[in-house]
Amino acid sequence: MPNLAYPRPTDREGAAVRPLCDSDAPAFQELCRRMPMRTLTARLNIDAFGFRGPIVRAWGAFDQGQLAGVLLRYGNTAVAVDADGSCARAFSRLIDSEGNLAGVRGSVEVVAGIQAMLRRYTPSDWEDSYFLTLRSPAQPSIDQLSMARRATSADIAMLTEFYSGAGTMYRSRSNVAEKLASRRVFVVEEPPLGSRPGRIASCALLNVEGRDAGLIGGVYTLPSARGKGYAAACTALLAADLQRDGKSPCLFYENPIAGKVYRRLGFVDASRWAVLYLSLPSETRKAR
């Protein structure tokens, strides 16, 4: 069930939300300067896809002419960030007006406020989320270097099969092909064993890459292959690959076991986040 323990933040009733466009770039850059870690995910997506397009749509909450927060829609997920949750009321109205949203990810204060103020969507679950970054040099061990390798286009069939059973981490063949084209996909491949063919057992890739950072995602290991250090090997090689190009590796996690893996690799806390899952009332779904 949703976590109601966080205090409801003070909201700015007067904050007005509108779509962002290229002329808002200076205001967005200033917001990123004031809150570099909170805005990093939004900035990476806007670096890659712009303020508005087929992949990302971005809105800004303006208070007395100043950009106070940003909300992005990426597929069926909204990403909301501000300094203190004061944009939650304005963002909740926008979220209620959008169709087919499955969840909201964002800084804790704004997500808690959105949870309290939604009217059309019903919060169905909450997860604490942690945003980490790697500030020290990534130094994969000899064992990790021998376990994992960079994936190539020849791996598309195995990777598509791999992610088809990955639950919430599912990726389509076209998405896998797009990630392989970036050359920042690292895998552990297990050889055939008895009647079982060779397979991809673990993978780490990038959700999005910007000019100075890369957001690692898709870190998944087959249940039968866990506990062997595969995810750590893939993540370590991907992080080192980013750092060689002068980019900072960063990632989110909700699973405490995954968090221990990332922290052992040297990742440190950068910001506290949350994920709020949404559903529509049954009568609303029928009317759509």
Q: What is the CA radius of gyration of the chain?
A: 20
Average pLDDT, the chain: 92
Tell me whether the CATH fold assigned to 16-130+273-287 matches the one assigned to 137-265: yes
Asked if residue 144 lies in contact with residue 165, where contact means CB atoms within 8 angstroms, the answer is: no
Q: What is the DSSP letter of 185?
A: -
CATH number of 16-130+273-287: 3.40.630.30
Asked if residue 58 lies in contact with residue 51, where contact means CB atoms within 8 angstroms, the answer is: yes
Domain boundaries, the chain: 16-130+273-287, 137-265
Q: Does domain 137-265 have CATH number 2.30.110.10?
A: no
CA–chain centroid gap for 32, Å, is: 17
pLDDT grade for 168, boundaries at 50, 70 and 90: confident
- Report in angstroms the alpha-carbon separations of 213 from 36, 169, 171, 248: 12, 22, 22, 4
Helix (H/G/I), strand (E/B), else coil: 114: helix
Of 179, 226, 182, 176, nearest in space to 201 by CA: 226
Q: Give the C-alpha separation, 58 to 275, whole Å.
A: 18
Q: Give the C-alpha separation, 199 to 147, whole Å.
A: 13
Q: Give the C-alpha separation, 138 to 152, whole Å.
A: 22
pLDDT per residue as tens digits for the range 237-284 = 999 999 999 999 999 999 999 999 999 999 999 999 999 999 987 545
Q: Residue 284 has what pLDDT?
A: 53
Task: Provide mean pLDDT across the span 222-232.
Answer: 97
pLDDT grade for 82, boundaries at 50, 70 and 90: very high
